Amino acid sequence: MIQDFLFQAFAASAILGAVIMVTRRNPVSAVIFLVGVFFATSGMFLMLDAHYIAAINVILYGGAIMVLFLFVLMLLNLGHADWRDLRGPVGGLIGGSISIAFLGVLTRLFVGGTEARPVVEIAGSALREAAAEQGVVGVVARPLFTEYTIVLEVTGVLLLVSIVGTILLARRERT
Amino acid sequence: MSEAGMAGALGLNGLIALFVSAILFSIGVIGVLLRRNAIIVFMCVELMLNAANLSLVAFSRMHGIEGQIFVFFVMAVAAAEAAVGLAIIIAIFRHYEVVDLDRFRLLKW
């Protein structure tokens, strides 16, 4: 099936892009590869019937946040490679072992979590039917504005606070 | 039963998505621990958030739309966090003229 092949291609390119991104010494190429990772995960969201999330992921992460990172890199003139950036072999050993421990715990969790509880079979077909009925945005928006209204408002306040805090932090003090 | 049941409800793609999310998270952990550049460490944190989002979307195929709504809020918080974090990095850069994490040791021993 072409869809399965595409999904696996997206998965492989996400992992490959992440590995390349972590090992690049030049911050600008790290940003570019991270954008690639976000595009690949957006493709995976699309195949997992999360169309709205896929669009938001490209627009918000791949677009807005990564442009912000690139903007800060250029503002501070940090776009060159630095040989001191990567830690030495001791740091590599510690970092690698902690991350492998994380990988083991997460894999155990994902496989073991469904062993303990019976899996509810509502799956992708129900999501697909709801999307066909209410539209791909409506299926996310309807619970957002009915059940989770207060959470949405609190998130709005959080964004406002972050805007004010950013201006306060980045402002040059005049004495 | 466990493997077959999980593959049945999630589909093979859902299972792959979970493992990819675990691998991406681990790569993000490596990046946070291995790099000294504060901006790249921050980018690795964004990668870890994205990996968590991937697992939430995969589980939302099993448990309903709430997973995707949670992803929406995670993204809103990530956007706020990126703005504030980069402002902090700019403010620190004004003092030290570097973004090397080993040089920020005012609160260390």
Query: Which residues in chain B touch residue A123, judged by CB atoms under 8 angstroms apart?
Result: 9-11, 61-62
Q: Domain containing B38 — which CATH number?
A: 1.10.287.3510
Does B109 reside within a domain?
A: no
Is the CB of residue A79 less than 8 Å away from at least one CB of chain B?
Answer: no
Q: Is the pTM of this model over 0.90?
A: no
Handedness of CA A5, A56, B61, A133 (dihedral sign): negative
Q: CB distance from A38 to chain B under 8 Å? A: yes
In whole angstroms, give the CA distance from residue A58 to residue B18: 20
A8 part of contact set with chain B, CB < 8 Å:
yes
Alpha-carbon distance of A38 to A31, in angstroms, equals 11
Q: Identify the domain containing residue B63 by its residue range.
A: 3-103
Q: Do A68 and B83 touch (CB under 8 A)?
A: yes
Minimal Cα–Cα distance from B64 to chain A, Å?
Answer: 7
Predicted local distance difference test score (pLDDT) of residue A162: 94
Residue B57: inside a domain, yes or no?
yes
| C-alpha angle A22-A14-A56 in degrees, rounded to nearest 5 | 105
Which range among A76-90, A103-117, A128-142, B33-47 has the greatest average pLDDT?
B33-47
Of the given ranges (A76-85, A135-144, B27-36, B73-82), which has the lowest mean pLDDT? Answer: A76-85
**Residue B108 lies inside a defined structural domain of this protein:** no
Burial of B73 (0-12, 13-18, 19+ CB in 10 A): middle
For residue A118, name the pLDDT band (cuts at 50, 70, 90). very low
Q: What is each CA distance from A117 to B3, B17, B27, B60, in whole angstroms?
A: 13, 20, 29, 16
Q: Evaluate whether residue B89 is within a structural domain.
A: yes
Tell me the C-alpha distance between B54 and B65, whole Å. Answer: 14
In chain A, residues with a C-beta closer than 8 Å to the C-beta of B2 are: 111, 114-115
Q: How many CB atoms lie within 10 A of CB B1?
A: 10
Q: How far is B107 from chain A (nearest CA, A)?
A: 19
Q: Is residue B43 part of a domain?
A: yes
Q: Using the beta-carbon criterion (under 8 Å), do A111 and B75 form an inter-chain contact? A: no
Asked whether residue A121 carries a pLDDT value surpassing 50, the answer given is: no
Restricting to A residues 122-141, those with a Cβ less than 8 Å away from any Cβ of B are 122-124, 126-127, 130, 139-140
ipTM for the assembly? 0.87
Task: Specify if B34 maps to a domain.
Answer: yes
> How many domains are there within chain B?
1
pLDDT in tens, B78-109: 999 999 999 999 988 888 888 888 888 777 76
